[in-house]
């Protein structure tokens, strides 16, 4: 952040002036937004076709493994919920 440089005061009448505390206000700096092209991982141009295909297969396998782990966690959560609700019913 940086402070605003000195501002020339334009007066329309003698009563309107800018407060001296205005110079202490912080102004955020403009940040450049990254394009999706820069954010996404690209395949290297020097890769051979078989290596590129293997990389794509590896990505897909990792995605599948992540989905399976997600399903397993969901099933475990549901199982715990069922057990807790059954336990509460038995206590009543």
pLDDT digits (tens, 9 = 90+) for 34-46: 776 666 666 566 6
Assign 58 a pLDDT band (cuts: 50, 70, 90).
very high
Q: How confident is the model at residue 48 (pLDDT cuts 50, 70, 90)?
A: confident
Answer yes or no: pTM beyond 0.85.
Answer: no
Partners of 3 in beta bridges: 26
52 CB contacts (<8 Å, ≥6 apart)? 43
Predicted pLDDT at 13: 52
Mean pLDDT (whole number) for 74-86: 95
Over range 55-64, report the average pLDDT.
94
- For residue 10, pLDDT over 60 is answered with no
Give me the chain's average pLDDT, please.
78
Q: What is the pLDDT of residue 2?
A: 55
Rounded Cα–Cα distance for residues 53 and 90 (Å): 55
Q: What's the CA dihedral at 80, 81, 86, 88 to 10 degrees?
A: 110
């Amino acid at each position: 952040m940086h402070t605003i440089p000195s501002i020339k005061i334009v007066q329309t009448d003698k009563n309107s002036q800018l407060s001296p505390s205005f110079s202490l206000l912080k102004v955020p700096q403009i940040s450049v937004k990254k394009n999706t092209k820069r954010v996404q991982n690209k395949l290297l141009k020097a890769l051979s076709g078989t290596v590129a295909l293997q990389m794509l297969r590896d990505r897909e396998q990792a995605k599948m493994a992540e989905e399976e782990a997600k399903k397993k966690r969901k099933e475990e959560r549901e199982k715990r919920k069922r057990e807790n609700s059954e336990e509460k019913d038995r206590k009543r």
